[in-house]
Amino acid sequence: MQINISSEAKQAIKNFTIPEELGFGRVMAPVMLEANFENGKWSDMTIVPFGPISMLPTSKVLHYGQEIFEGLKSYRIKGNGPFLFRPDENAKRFNHSAKRMAMPEVPVENFVEAVKVFSKLCSEIIPRRSGESLYLRPFMFSTEEALGIKPSDTFKFMIVASPSGAYFSGGTISVLIERSAVRAAPGGTGNAKTGGNYAAALEAAIETKKLGHDQTLWLDAVTRKNVEEMSGMNFNCIIDGKLVTPALTDSILAGITRNSLLAIAPQLDIQVEEKKLSIDELIEAIKTGRCTEAFACGTAAIITPIHQIAEKDGTVYKLPSAPGPCSTSLRQALLDIQEGRREAPNKEWVLNLE
C-alpha cells in the first residue's frame, strides 16, 4: 500500500500557523489522509488538504453506526522528533474494534506507516511545549449506500489531527457516580472503540455537568456494584499505597495509557493490582483514608487527578490529595518517556521519526 502526498497538502502545511491558545481538539491540522475499501481490498492512501467529504444520506454509517476510531499523539520536544508512543498498540486495538464491528482490518504495518508518514508531514505544526502534542484521530466508517440492515461492503479509512493542549484545563476533576444508566454490557461493544459507546454516555454527561461535575463514573451493567471506567478514560486509585484499577472485562476498553502505567508503576516502587473493585469498597476506602488518590488516564487525559467522587443526592467523598504524590510521579514518568527524557520499560514503546 502506497501513501501519496498531494502538493496541495504540502503547501497547506507551509501556510499553517499554530495558534497560541490550543485547547483540545478545537484546532484542526490542514491535512487529512484517506483510503477506500472496495471489492475486498484497500486502495492506496492519499494525504490531501483538510476539507469536507462527500457522502449520500443513505450511507450505512449514518443509520447503523458502523464505525470505529483511535486516538494517539505525536510529540516534538526541544526540536527533536516527532515521537510516537506505542502506535502498534493503537493499530492492534483498531483491528480488534474492526472485527467486533464487522469491518475490514487495516494491516498493523500499514496503520503504523500511515501514522508515521502523516506525523512527519505535520512535524512543523506539532506544538513544542510539554504536555502539548499533535493529537491524531484515525477512524473508519461504512460507506455503502443502502438502507438494508447488513454489514457494509465498502469503507473509508481516514486520519485527521489537531494540535492540542490539555484535555481538562482545570487540572483536577470532580466525578459523579452513575448508578442507574449503563455505558456497556457484557457481550456488547464496550471493549471496542466505536462511537456508539460514547453516544450512550452523552445523556449522563449532560446530567453530570448540570450537577456541577466533570466526568461520569460508570458501574457494571449486571450488578451496578462494580467500578468500570469513565466515559472516555480508565479509572485508577491509590489504596493502601497500591495502584488499583478495575480488571478488564468485555465492557471496559483496554486503555493503552492504562497498560503503560501498569508497567511504569513498579519502576517507581508502586505496587499494582488489577481487581474487581466495588463502588462500596472504593467509598469505604476514601472514608477511612486508605484511598489517598484517584485519577483518570487515557491518551487525551494523560493522567488527570480526581479531587472528589459524588452521588446524585449531593453526597461527596473527597480525596485527601489531588494531585497526589503517586499520580504526580506516574504522570511525570509517562510524559518523560513520551517526550524522550526517560527510558521506557520497553524500547519499542517510543518511535523517533527524526
What does the pLDDT average to over 103-110? Answer: 98
198 and 160 housed in the same domain: no
Same domain, 203 and 244: yes
Helix axes 87-100, 108-121, angle to 10 degrees: 130
**Predicted confidence (pLDDT) at residue 14 exceeds the cutoff of 70:** yes
Residue 288 has pLDDT above 70, yes or no: yes
- In this prediction, residue 354 has a pLDDT band, given cuts at 50, 70 and 90, of confident
The pLDDT value given to residue 165? 85
Check pLDDT > 80 for residue 340: no
Whether residue 59 has pLDDT greater than 90: yes
Q: What is the pLDDT of residue 72?
A: 96
Instruction: Mention every residue, 6+ apart, whose C-beta is less than 8 A from residue 73.
Output: 84, 85, 133, 134, 135, 136, 299, 338
CATH code, domain with 19: 3.30.470.10
Shared-domain flag, residues 87 and 64: yes
What is the average per-residue pLDDT within 318-333? 94
Summarize the confidence of residues 124-137 as an average pLDDT. Answer: 90
Residue 143 shares a structural domain with residue 252: no
In this prediction, residues 17-45 reach a mean pLDDT of: 95
pLDDT of the residue at 170: 65
For the chain, give the mean pLDDT. Answer: 95
8 A C-beta contact, residue 21 and residue 64: no
- Helices 87-100 and 256-264 pack at an angle, to 10 degrees, of 140
Residues 219 and 129 reside in one and the same domain: no
Hey, what's the cell of 143?
460507506
Confidence of residue 23 (pLDDT cuts 50, 70, 90): confident
Compute CA distances 289 → 22, 241, 274, 295, whole Å: 38, 11, 20, 16
Split at pLDDT 50, 70, 90, the class of 347 is confident
Split at pLDDT 50, 70, 90, the class of 76 is: confident
Together in a domain, 67 and 108: yes
Tracing cell 486495538 back to the chain, one arrives at 93
pLDDT at 125: 95
Structural domain total, the chain = 2
Mean pLDDT of 31-48: 98
Residues 86 and 106 in one domain: yes
Q: Is the pLDDT of residue 131 over 80?
A: no
Confidence at residue 169, expressed as pLDDT on a 0 to 100 scale: 65
Q: What is the mean pLDDT of residues 63-71?
A: 98
Helix axes 256-264, 325-338, angle to 10 degrees: 110
- pLDDT tens-place string over residues 186-224: 999 999 999 999 999 999 999 999 999 999 999 999 999
pLDDT at 20: 86
Domain, as residue range, for 238: 173-338
Beta strands in the chain (DSSP E): 3-5, 31-38, 41-42, 45-49, 67-69, 72-77, 80-85, 133-142, 155-164, 173-178, 215-219, 227-230, 234-239, 242-246, 272-275, 291-298, 302-310, 316-318, 350-352
pLDDT at 341 over 90: no
pTM over 0.85: yes
> How many percent of the chain have pLDDT more than 70?
99
DSSP assigned state of 130? T
- Domain check: are 14 and 51 in the same one? yes
User: Quick one: pLDDT band at residue 151, thresholds 50, 70, 90?
Assistant: very high
Q: Do residues 259 and 278 both lie within one domain?
A: yes
Domain end call among 139, 164, 189: 164
| Residues 216 and 326 occupy one common structural domain | yes
Average pLDDT over residues 148-152: 96
Q: Are 204 and 123 part of one and the same domain?
A: no
Mean pLDDT along residues 298-320: 95
**Residues 24, 128: one domain?**
yes
